Structure 1
Amino acid sequence: MLAAYATAPDPDDPLSALEVGERPDPVPADGWTTVAVRAAGLNHHDLWTLRGVGIAPGRFPMILGCDAAGVDTATGEDVVVHAVVAGPGWTGDETLDPARTLLSEKHQGTLAQYVSVPARNVVAKPPELSFEDAACLPTAWLTAYRMLFAKAGARPGQTVLVQGASGGVAGAAIALGRAAGLRVWATARTEAKRAAALRLGAHEAFEPGARLPGRVDAVMETVGEATWAHSMRALRPGGRLVVSGATTGAAPPAELNRLFFLQLEVVGSTMGSRQELEDLMSLLVHTGLRPTIDRTLPLAEAAKGLAALHAGEMIGKIVLTA
């Protein structure tokens, strides 16, 4: 089968580690099923895999990809793949399993014509969602959904600040927040990216660190050190800062005086559960909201998509079709 895979880690030039070519068809283990991939979404996780981050050296060659939608070959049903693989005996929220892993870390990923996953990791795809739309959801959109609604507990009428609006999770948080009746403010480094944030649904967009019109109920933080102080200052007393990433560094000043005096909450968030993926798809079906897709490419042109992702040359998701 055709697949896009990492041949070996290259921390300095991740795209040089990419190969697009033939790989063996998957053979599902007991309790697993094989999905014929119709569409697969790209994520920064794919670039980390090419760099060798989050994957043991002995796992290469590794097919990239966490997100996919396609057809379950065992049932013939249209499905979406939940990317979080829990241990065989785990029950409940998969993200809390200490032994959890994402597809393309231990098990071969989704940037291929076929992918094998545990049978519990396939979720019925609503007919209202295209394969391309559904393939955008399991990583970035699911992460944003959990941050906003499960971790921040955001409610209609509240104000949220989304830092680093050009990122995949941040862009999804903007769109989801607007659809759910939140007032959404966003930050981005360039005028073009701030304009894109407004198109995604932000009510206002600001330069990083800018003085805001008021305090916010919650901050969605994926940037880390570069925006941490601004995030802390932006919160109203009792506000909540939800963190799912630290792309600019993971050791910002704690600002403990502000934390305890204003009774702020800092909450970590990672991916989302299978149930939350179902809830996310239901929200999209009932609101009519759809992911912004920057471009769709055939699987054979995966290198073009990953190069654009690496350069930050997109607004929304890049999707590969098999």
Structure 2
Amino acid sequence: MLPDLASLRVMQAWNLPESPGQFVWGEVPDPQAGPGQVRVKVRASALNHMDLWLTTGLPKPPSFPHVPGNDVAGVVETLGEGVTRFAIGDEVVINTALVPESALERGLDSVLDPKMRLLGEHCWGGHGEFCVVAAHQLEFKPKNRTWAEVASYPVCTTTAWRLLRRARLAPGETVLITGIGGGVATAAMQLALHLGARVFVTSRDPAKRARAVELGAEGAFDSKGPYPISADVVVDSIGPATWEYSVRTLRHGGRMCVCGGTSGPKVELNLPRLFFKQLDILGASCGSQEEFRYVTSLMEEGLPVVLDEILPLSEFPRALDRLRTASQLGKVVLEHPE
């Protein structure tokens, strides 16, 4: 799963020399494709909070230097021995959840394999010239979509789809999405609207609330609560700061979908409310190859994505600052030189 770094060749990449620490631009060993692997010339990569967390040492990369970047799309540059599905020059996008090929037999639950690793966390990611992964992690780039659009969806839209699929979201049901602005929250809004749900969102930022309504949300509330609706499904990425109001919003038989905890790692759970209201609590981070393939098909059919800003790869530090201040609504994407 890790690229072969034995070659003396080098590439240019944003990399972390140590952690805690700061990213620097410079030469790192050039990863080569081994058996069953594909080397991709990166055309676009997108930011995630993982890029910030790595600089704090939580999580700490397995080795240094470390190249970040969870969301990656590009062009096949080299094929490892035994790769037959792809050809040099194919335009592709990479699933962030890396698993052994044998895990694909688990279908929708391949992401639950104990050996699952995240691109850009446990191994080198895409904020550099090249990225090497196993061929079974690739899907063909959706037609008629830009590189920036394609790089925006592997983490957030796949995670959102896995949550909403497991939550059995049906047309006409009501969804509350907390903390609109983040990648998964924004993708969940677009997917819920696509599925025919009524969508409401929360944010501390009046401008983000207004923008969400422009994008199709039926209503938007201040995240400090309370929220004047009843919901079948809540998609929460905030955690303890909004948990009580979010759970109170759920109807009997409601489903709480958790994809983050920006306000902290621990919440209090009222057990009688859980069992008397017969609530489900679901969590997800990324998704299976089968789910990723389905989301890729939705992208090809025209599923909207929300891009906050598109910057050149050289402006990665500026992009990090935008993420750090939670200023974005949608994905911040880096375009790479051809």
TM-score by length of structure 1 reads: 0.93
Counterpart selection for 1:111 from 127, 130, 135: 127
Q: 1:45 maps to what in 2?
A: 50
How much has 1:209 moved relative to structure 2? 4.5
Matching of residue 36 in structure 1 with residue 41 in structure 2: yes
Partner of residue 69, structure 1: 73
1:170 aligns with 2:174: no
Q: Using the alignment, how far apart are the partners of 2:56 and 2:213 within structure 1?
A: 33
Amino-acid identity (%): 38
Deviation at 1:79, TM superposition (A): 0.5
2 CA distance for matches of 1:108 and 1:283? 27
The answer to whether 1:269 aligns with 2:274 is: no
The answer to whether the aligner puts 1:80 opposite 2:84 as a matched pair is no
Equivalent-residue separation in structure 2 for 1:34 and 1:305 (angstroms): 25
Pick from 137, 146, 150 the counterpart of residue 121 of structure 1.
137
Alignment of 1:1-322 (within 5 A): 1-10=11-20, 17-56=22-61, 58-73=62-77, 74=79, 75=87, 76-87=89-100, 89-91=102-104, 92=106, 93-148=109-164, 150-286=165-301, 288-322=302-336
The answer on whether the counterparts of 1:220 and 1:241 sit within 8 Å (CA) in structure 2 is yes
The AA in structure 1 aligned to 2:47 is L
**Contact 1:9/1:51 (8 A) holds in 2:** yes
- Structure-2 separation of matches of 1:97 and 1:309: 30
- How many Å apart are 1:6 and its aligned residue? 1.3
Deviations along 1:70-121, one digit per CA (max 9) or x if unpaired, are 1112312110011111135433233201121101222111111110001111
Deviation per CA, 1:141-174: give whole Å up to 9, x if none: 21112112x2211111110000111211111111
Task: Give me the whole-angstrom Cα distance separating, in 2, the residues matched to 1:294 and 1:164.
Answer: 15
Gaps of 5+ in 2: 1-10, 80-86
1:13 corresponding residue in structure 2: none
Using a 3 Å threshold, how does the CA distance of structure 1 residues 114 and 228 change in structure 2: closer, same or farther?
same
How many Å separate the matches in 2 of 1:59 and 1:307?
25
* CA deviation string 1:45-91 (max 9, x = no partner): 111112222234x5121101011111112312110011111135433
3-state SS, counterpart of residue 309 of structure 2: strand
Q: Secondary structure at the match of 1:138?
A: coil
Q: Structure 1 residue 213: deviation in Å? A: 4.0
Deviation of 1:282 after TM superposition, in Å, equals: 1.7
Alpha-carbon shift at residue 182 of structure 1 (Å): 0.8
Q: SS at the partner of 1:63?
A: coil
Q: State how far apart, in whole Å, the 2-side matches of 1:222 and 1:313 are.
A: 16
Partner SS for 2:241: helix
Task: Give me the whole-angstrom Cα distance separating, in 1, the residues matched to 2:148 and 2:251.
Answer: 38
How far apart are 1:271 and its partner, in Å? 1.0
SS at structure 2 position matched to 1:304: helix
Q: Contact 1:85–1:94 (CA<8 Å) still a contact in 2?
A: no
CA separation of 1:146 and 1:205: change in aligned 2, threshold 3 A: same
Q: CA deviation at 1:130?
A: 1.6
What is the rounded CA distance, in whole Å, between the counterparts of 2:251 and 2:129 in structure 1? 48
Preserved contact between residue 215 and residue 236 of structure 1 (Cα < 8 Å): yes
